[in-house]
Chains A and B, each alone.
Chain A
């Protein structure tokens, strides 16, 4: 079953078309990777789907329900959750506090939210840092906190916007393992990523966009050998013919 179905989505800012007739389908339980050169419109596409701003044209369906222009907080309660490329921790608060904010999306009681948050932290092997102030975390831990917070809202689909940017190779491997584990728990994953090694290892399918348009789609291997993709990333002259 398709959990997310984006049809002909377009987003323009004044005269600039950032996303141009983009179509994306994600099956429940899949990991879908979205890649593309800088400025290709990946984050804009994410923002449209996550309700930050409505798309200019096209339709977005989540579990068969049209969600064009639905606000982020409503989407969160429906089970569509996202993380941010530039991490946004509640810096003056503890890790536990941060995750509890997410957990309050599924409960009204403080004690339940705390239990839920602790369970999430434990599942990410993060509970030893629960009393650390979020502002004092390393970048890898901040990324992990983004995921922990999002998980606490019990999402059905998780939109991860470059959760591996800025991580060391060992940390990237750890993050890949975490994301695979989330999928095994039944959460559908939609991920934007620049680190090719990670996205190739992770994704079931990959969509490549360039100038807001989809230029390729398929398994990681198929996409990696696609002529259009190599052109987009490296330029015309690097295509081996």
Chain B
């Protein structure tokens, strides 16, 4: 096991589970919002992630990194309830979380998937209307819409356009705007900058930073670009071959000269 900087623990290339139990000094608000214990999950009986335990506190932004095929998306989808874990328990706001996306959306979860994240054949307005259905009531939806309009004005300027005709960055902003329509407690993001030009990726992360810092929204974000991720998150989980190999604070990761051992 290797340790980098203050308060960071990484299992250096092994499947050492003791790394999971390491304590990390983080900026955490009171209590845990999402807690997952010893989660094993996958597809058609084959585990893609094994024995993973993670948590996200109220108002905390947490990252997940790992190489391609490490199991990051599976973990995120399991946290959202899209995949039923084979083993382990997940609780959200202190209550057991079912593998049911609708129930979890009502409880305050939202996800922005990695690809095909908007309904391309529907207009921008129709995409937003679909998301708006999940708001508690009309007043909450109006307020979310207003806030989202300030954050992503370009999306609101193009309401009549087909979502499929937007640029990659605009589509990504639309998908985040859609997820904000029901004012979720925890926003799950799967590689929000994939396929985006650097300037657009920067704008997407500006918006995420505003959500985390100004509104105290909890965020769990899978991202390959550490440069972007570390602008927003407080700490990062590291996954390799379907197992959690460690956890580091953003502060300690920033001080690193390279990240090779993380991937």
A and B pair up: no
